[in-house]
Structure 1
Amino acid sequence: MEFKANSKELEKLLAKIIPAVPTRTPMQILENILLEVENGVLTVYATDLEISLKSFLNIASDENIKIVIPARLFYDIIKSLKDTTVHFKINGNKRLEITTEKGKYTLSYIDADEFPEIPTINTSNDVYEISINGQDLKSAFDKTAFAMSKEEIRPAMMGTLFEFCDEGLRFVTTDGHRLVNYLNKNIKADINKQYVVPERAVSVLSKVLDEKELKVYFTNSYVSFKLNDMELITRLIAQKYPEYKSVIPLENEYALRVKTNELLDSIKRMMLFTTSTTRRVKFSIDSEQIIISAEDIDIGAAGEEEVKCEYRGEKMEIGFNSTYINDILSHLSDYDEIIFKLHSPTKAVIIEPVEQKENTDLMMLLMPVRLNT
């Protein structure tokens, strides 16, 4: 059996599915990909059992086959080739011959039935389908993904919450220290339901999304993202997401308005003077300025800077983990000004853009750290 394909088209296809191939795994079969040729279409499958990726390419072929071959070796071979036609031939001794004008390469293959089954989602009454612009979804991930938890104690927090509500589609992430709440008002849902998508799927999708529309299919156990010539399927996190609304304070009556990047630049410099244990920076807030300071007693180093602001409230000294506040400000850096809504040095702080982008609402929450007395 023989078929052929353009090397650069094949390289693009393989680049889309290779993220699902684990680099280290006790299951050696997962280091392979499944090649399926059917009716002139080459479909390549990869999985790490958490996410599955498949992509397809029209090719010249008269027969149908399914084989399993080493993923990274095959990808590296194709990637190393110049723009050329690649001929593939299946031999009876379980060898795949790869031939170009200048070379011949041989790979062993194994039978397709040894490869894990890839989940499929069939449209039915149990599937909820939406269309979303790829750039809108990428923007949501870019604003929220950094706050997903890495602690396995609470698995639900290791994913991104997709919450369909009357206002639109809400994306929520939290690690217990910070929380991001991002609402896309463009998506009008006819259900009120929550799904938790694992971090691995979010990470892979963020790298391949573009401005084109994609279809998303939710079931009770899986979600499928179909974009262009690629599909990602992942198992949803089964645990219920924490009641995030209960931790958003309602009594934060003090308002601090500041230019985002001025504050971010100052925080980056103060991070040079924080201790490796607490990473603490102190905000001393007055009506027209914030004094930002940090001190590393162990090495006898300290820094202090003044940042102009507009503040309505009682004078306050409050501490933050410098890494967390840096993360939040970095993800707000495309907004000119932000508002901190405060209540006391021990209560959660709400951080929002002064002007929201069209059809979105973004709110971030940060827990303060105690200052030494």
Structure 2
Amino acid sequence: MKFVVSSSELLYHLQAVSRVVSSKSTIPILENFLFELEEGKLTITASDLESTMVTSMNLDNTEGEGAIAIPAKILLETLKKFPEQPITLDIALDTRAISIVTDKGKFSVVGLNGDEFPEIPQIDEDKASRLQLPASLVLEGINKTLFATADDELRPVMNGILIEMSPENMTFVASDSHKLVRYQRTDANTEFSSSFILPKKPASFLKNVLVKEDGDINIEFDDKNAFFQMENHKLACRLVEGNYPSYNAVIPQDNPNKIIINRQDVVNTLGRVSLFSNQASNLVKLSIDGEDLMVSAQDIDFSISAYEKLSCQYDGEPIEIGFKSAFLAEILDNISSEEVVMELADPARAGIFLPLEKNGPEDELMLLMPMMINA
């Protein structure tokens, strides 16, 4: 088979799926892209068995049809070095010899039998659920929660994003047991109630692809797999099996101490003060009294310490609470409002972080567990 394609357009499509390719796979075929040409349409597939990404492009100048696996690394690196130009891929399916021909040269490589490439799993129609959502909504849900997922081999359900659907709203949840994010959208709902846990790796694949998508995304899933169909890309992934913990049970409901802070001011202060914290604990202390918020840290072993005062809005009793600086900065970095409401009950209970101004149908809540402050 033979086809002509723009070098930059081919590179764009390959880069979209290349993140799935594992360089350390024990199965050689998975270090390749699967190229399939049929009726002038080129379909490119990459897989690591857990996740499969598919992209397609329509071509004007083609001869023949067929499938072949082409080594991913050398093809990608070669295309990155090309200026924008038409290139011809001439593939002898019997010998699996591949020639990449340009106006000035020819590059030869040997592929593998395309029939050896793993097939995409099929949806179980008896257990299937389907919905259609704006790509921007799914992207926002992933952006808000991905940073809070865990890396816990003992509790794999924490290593993904819980996506819940109901007639009232759609909810994205992630937690690593230190921090928790719950992001709800009232403008996305379904006639049915269901949920699945999207693993972290395919969630990051989706995040990179959805940035360039404008339309809707079709989602279908059963108890084992989920499929995300976009205009030119498709992602199939194996879901995390198991039941997600009851996240609402860990969110404190009665938090009498409400402090309004400027998000960016606190993030900047944390960046400076946390340099003086103990490297093992990364503990910073927040002391709130009236309109003063003092952020402090110290490392007794090295006799260093720092504090900065910021203004805030608070009319409760003075309170002190400790947090891991890196986690607190992450929480504040991912809240959309410039003014943030911090709700506290006491130094031993989780702090709740909410945007001061709600953004239409969005409802976001972030929780951070405190750390003990050494006397």
Both proteins in one fold, TM over 0.5? yes
Partner of 1:29: 29
Q: What is the CA–CA distance in structure 2 between the aligned matches of 1:325 and 1:200, rounded to whole Å? A: 24
Instruction: Report the AA paired with residue 227 of structure 2.
Output: S
Q: Where do residues 129-148 of structure 1 align in structure 2 (5 Å cutoff)?
A: 129-148=130-149
- Figure out how many residues of one structure are paired with residues of the other and give that number: 371
Partner of 2:292: 289
Aligned-pair distance for 1:166?
3.5
Q: What is the CA–CA distance in structure 2 between the aligned matches of 1:51 and 1:363, rounded to whole Å? A: 30
Instruction: Report the AA paired with residue 219 of structure 1.
Output: D
- Percent identity between matched residues is 32
Q: What is the CA–CA distance in structure 2 between the aligned matches of 1:314 and 1:90, rounded to whole Å? A: 75
Aligned-pair distance for 1:271?
1.0
Instruction: Report the AA paired with residue 196 of structure 1.
Output: I
5+ residue gaps, structure 1, are none
Instruction: Report the AA paired with residue 201 of structure 2.
Output: R
Partner of 2:232: 229
Q: What is the CA–CA distance in structure 1 between the aligned matches of 2:294 and 2:6, rounded to whole Å? A: 61
Partner of 1:82: 83
Query: Could you state the TM-score of these two structures normalised by the residue count of structure 1?
Result: 0.96
The superposition leaves residues 25-82 of structure 1 with CA deviations (integer Å, 9 ceiling, x where unpaired) of: 2222211111111111111110011210011111222421111110111122223222
Q: What is the CA–CA distance in structure 2 between the aligned matches of 1:205 and 1:326, rounded to whole Å? A: 25
Partner of 1:342: 344
Among 112, 115, 126, the alignment partner of 2:114 is 112
Q: What is the CA–CA distance in structure 1 between the aligned matches of 2:168 and 2:310, rounded to whole Å? A: 36
Q: What is the CA–CA distance in structure 1 between the aligned matches of 2:155 and 2:17, rounded to whole Å? A: 29
Q: What is the CA–CA distance in structure 1 between the aligned matches of 2:151 and 2:140, rounded to whole Å? A: 21
**Contact 2:274/2:282 (<8 A) preserved:** yes
**Contact 1:39/1:62 (<8 A) preserved:** no
Instruction: Report the AA paired with residue 205 of structure 2.
Output: V
Partner of 1:201: 202
Instruction: Report the AA paired with residue 367 of structure 2.
Output: L
Q: Secondary structure at the match of 2:273?
A: helix
Q: Secondary structure at the match of 2:236?
A: strand
CA RMSD of aligned residues (A): 1.5
Q: Which runs of 4+ in 1 moved over 3 A?
A: none
Q: What is the CA–CA distance in structure 1 between the aligned matches of 2:272 and 2:357, rounded to whole Å? A: 27
The answer as to 2:77 corresponding to 1:73 is no
Q: What is the CA–CA distance in structure 1 between the aligned matches of 2:91 and 2:348, rounded to whole Å? A: 68
Aligned-pair distance for 1:125?
5.4
**Contact 2:292/2:312 (<8 A) preserved:** yes
The superposition leaves residues 200-240 of structure 1 with CA deviations (integer Å, 9 ceiling, x where unpaired) of: 01111111213332111122211111112110111110111
Among 242, 259, 262, the alignment partner of 2:262 is 259
Q: Where do residues 18-57 of structure 1 align in structure 2 (5 Å cutoff)?
A: 18-57=18-57
Instruction: Report the AA paired with residue 138 of structure 1.
Output: L
Partner of 1:303: 306
Query: Could you state the TM-score of these two structures normalised by the residue count of structure 2?
Result: 0.95
Partner of 1:214: 217
Instruction: Report the AA paired with residue 352 of structure 1.
Output: L
Q: Secondary structure at the match of 1:276?
A: coil
Partner of 1:157: 158
5+ residue gaps, structure 2, are none
